Amino acid sequence: MRFSALVSGLVALVSCHVTSAAAEIVKRASLTQVSNFGANTSGVKMYIYVPNSLATKPAIVVAVHYCTGTASAYYSGTPYAQLAEQYGFIVIYPESPYSGGCWDVSSPASLTHNGGGNSNSIANMVTYTISQYNADASRVFVTGTSSGAMMTNVLAATYPNMFKAASAYSGVPAGCFYTGTVNGWNSTCSNGQSIHTQAEWANTALNMYPGYTGARPKMLILHGSADTTLYPQNWNETMKQWSGVFGYTYGSPQKTLAQTPSSAYTRYVYGPYLEGIYGAGIGHSVPVMGAVDMEWFGITGGGAGGGTTSTTTTSAGTTLVTSSTKTSTSAATTTTAAVPGGCTAARWGQCGGIGFTGCTTCASPYTCQFSNNWYSQCL
């Protein structure tokens, strides 16, 4: 009996050592899947990268892939893992559960705080990582490209208490892609035809977490003027949304910085909580700017500002701005011939901007309306 007890004790001791060693292996410099991170009713996969040079109380960056993408593809195609080695933070790479690789940014579940959709699953990944690695809950950031940028905006709206700062590359406003279905596609939104007031967009975001009045992540919104997948008007609408949330006036930035961060881009500074970067001639998607993100997150340079201490609903509004409100679902986006030697742009089409070479006259009864230096649209 004593020998048996001794053997059992040794087995338990060895088992404990192996488990501890395995945990160490998992957290060192490899993209690793985590299966049991918490509630996951929408079936999102979690992958994590923990660097060899892990900080004592590390920050977390959530990096969300594009349509057709995977966690592995975003891990390989973006600089966040290399930056993690340099600065000691952890990267979470969620992976969409759907065959097309897009994110659910269209259902009530995902567009509601703790609604049980994709956004809820990603939030639970963050909670798991904070607990597992003693990460700094006050330094959690999110970024993404295309569909991942849409999810970035949704996460900023549904879990504003979780994220300190966000950068969204070539996305759409939170709630713009609403269809009422899981993983739905909203052509009105993607074509830049969901146009609303600053107050309407702000309320769409605020109503994703009703009653919340705490701090919100500061937002960096990036887009290209030649994006024909998620049309560039979505940059304007996203800037409207977060201008409204933070109390800025859309269209009146405090600073306009030409050729920043490089020659093709202009940076619009609305204040400490909102900036936009717009690329002339840049298509879908804007290349990831790792150094810019690190500065914006406060990992390098100054600290992340953190967001407001309170928010105010600017007007009464419904929970979601749907694509049928103040928009046309059948508007054409092609250009049509007018008289010989000229052409007209159809409703919603681009009609001006620096570097633009297409039609500058709008089909009747629409007129060319200025959005920013790089983009004007027939409205």
**Residue 127: what residue type?**
T
Indicate the pLDDT class of residue 371, thresholds 50, 70 and 90: low
Mean pLDDT of 346-363: 72
Mean pLDDT of 202-225: 98
Query: Which of 223, 161, 155 has its CA nearest to residue 190?
Result: 223
Strand, coil or helix: what is 365? coil
Higher pLDDT, 308 or 50: 50
Q: What is the mean pLDDT of the chain?
A: 84
The burial class, CB within 10 Å (0-12 / 13-18 / 19+), for 331 is middle
Q: What are the tokens at 110? A: 């995902």
Mean pLDDT of 241-270: 97
| CB 225, CB 232: distance < 8 Å | yes
Q: In this predicted model, what pLDDT tens digit does every residue of 43-97 receive, in sequence order?
A: 999 999 999 999 999 999 999 999 999 999 999 999 999 999 999 999 999 999 9
Strand, coil or helix: what is 199? helix
| Stretch among 17-26, 95-104, 216-225 having the lowest mean pLDDT | 17-26
Write the DSSP assignment of 203-265 as a string of letters: HHHHTTSTT--S---EEEEEEETT-SSS-THHHHHHHHHHHHHHT--TT--SEEEET-SSTTE
Mean pLDDT of 333-340: 26
Q: In the 8-state DSSP scheme, what is residue 166?
A: E
Catalytic-residue membership of 30: no
Higher pLDDT, 222 or 323: 222
User: What whole-number distance in Å separates Cα of residue 198 and Cα of residue 259?
Assistant: 27
Mean pLDDT of 241-245: 98
Q: In the 8-state DSSP scheme, what is residue 286?
A: P
**Residue 27: what residue type?**
K
Q: What are the tokens at 243? A: 């201008």
Q: In this predicted model, what pLDDT tens digit does every residue of 120-136 receive, in sequence order?
A: 999 999 999 999 999 99
User: What whole-number distance in Å separates Cα of residue 372 and Cα of residue 379?
Assistant: 14
pLDDT score, position 361: 87
| CB 97, CB 45: distance < 8 Å | yes
Q: Torsion angle, CA of 56/295/153/334, rounded to 10 degrees?
A: -150
pLDDT score, position 160: 98
Mean pLDDT of 7-25: 37
Is the predicted pLDDT of residue 9 greater than 50, yes or no?
A: no
pLDDT score, position 5: 41
Q: In this predicted model, what pLDDT tens digit does every residue of 25-40 receive, in sequence order?
A: 345 689 999 999 999 9
Strand, coil or helix: what is 145? strand
User: What whole-number distance in Å separates Cα of residue 218 and Cα of residue 164?
Assistant: 7
Choice among 146, 147, 285, 376 that is catalytic: 146
pLDDT score, position 322: 39
What is the percent of the chain where pLDDT is above 70? 78
Higher pLDDT, 12 or 356: 356
pLDDT score, position 328: 27
Mean pLDDT of 137-163: 98
pLDDT score, position 326: 31
Query: Which of 194, 203, 265 has its CA nearest to residue 236?
Result: 194
Residues, the chain: 379
Question: For residue 58, what are the β-bridge partners?
Answer: none
